[in-house]
């Protein structure tokens, strides 16, 4: 009976690991490139990669970063420029979006939003206090009414809550 239980456990473990992509192998074993890399053609299995977004030149945070100050690697000069370049009332109003904190490990001033279909420059305003910040507008899929993701640096300059869902007014240049 004990032998059967051990056999069943081994079989279940084998099935469980069968779906792994080698992440536990520390790089040992063969790696097969996806067909689009081998042939240079798009297979339709994945959408083509988007062009790299417009990013400000801020350093990536250290792997040991744990606080908002450690993740926000923008310099005082970059912060001053982002506020100075974003005069209130300038640009074409795209609409209002609910903002949430995006990936804090992505440096710079950006807004990933479905309000744009092409990457470009813009401005985000937090109507609660009237503060405004120049950002890179990066398109994401979704309806225009879907929320947006905001960089840590932009939310901090706006004075918006990092853990909240503030309404933000978005403008394009």
* Token digits of residue 117: 């279909």
Among 107, 137, 106, residue whose Cα is nearest residue 121: 137
Kindly list the distances between the CA atom of residue 122 and the CA atoms of 55, 151, 154, in Å, as whole numbers in the listed order: 12, 14, 12
pLDDT less than 50: residues of the chain: 23-26, 29, 33, 35-43, 48-55
The answer to whether the pTM exceeds 0.85 is no
How many Å apart are CA 79 and CA 2, to the nearest integer?
A: 66
How many Å apart are CA 14 and CA 19, to the nearest integer?
A: 9
Please report which residue ranges of the chain form alpha helices under DSSP H: 2-18, 35-39, 68-71, 76-84, 152-158
Q: What is the dihedral of CA 22, 26, 32, 33, to 10 degrees?
A: 110
Per residue in 69-82, pLDDT tens?
A: 778 778 888 888 88
| Percent of the residues in the chain that have a pLDDT greater than 90, as a whole number | 44
* Superfamily per CATH, domain 68-172: RlpA-like domain (2.40.40.10)
Domain ranges of the chain: 2-39, 68-172
């Amino acid at each position: 009976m004990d032998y059967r239980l051990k056999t069943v456990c081994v079989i279940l473990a084998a099935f469980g690991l069968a779906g792994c992509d080698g992440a536990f192998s520390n790089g040992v074993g063969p790696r097969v490139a996806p067909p689009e890399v081998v042939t240079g053609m798009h297979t339709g299995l994945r959408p083509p990669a988007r062009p790299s977004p417009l990013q400000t030149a801020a350093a990536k945070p250290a792997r040991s970063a744990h606080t908002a100050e450690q993740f926000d690697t923008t310099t005082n000069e970059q912060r001053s420029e982002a506020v100075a370049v974003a005069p209130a009332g300038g640009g074409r109003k795209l609409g209002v979006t609910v903002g949430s904190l995006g990936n804090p490990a992505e440096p710079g001033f950006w807004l990933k939003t479905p309000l744009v279909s092409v990457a470009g420059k813009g401005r985000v305003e937090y109507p609660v206090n009237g503060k405004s910040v120049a950002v890179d507008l990066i398109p994401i899929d979704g309806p225009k009414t879907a929320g947006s993701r905001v960089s840590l640096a932009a939310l901090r300059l706006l004075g918006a809550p990092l853990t909240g869902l503030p309404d933000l007014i978005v403008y394009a240049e």
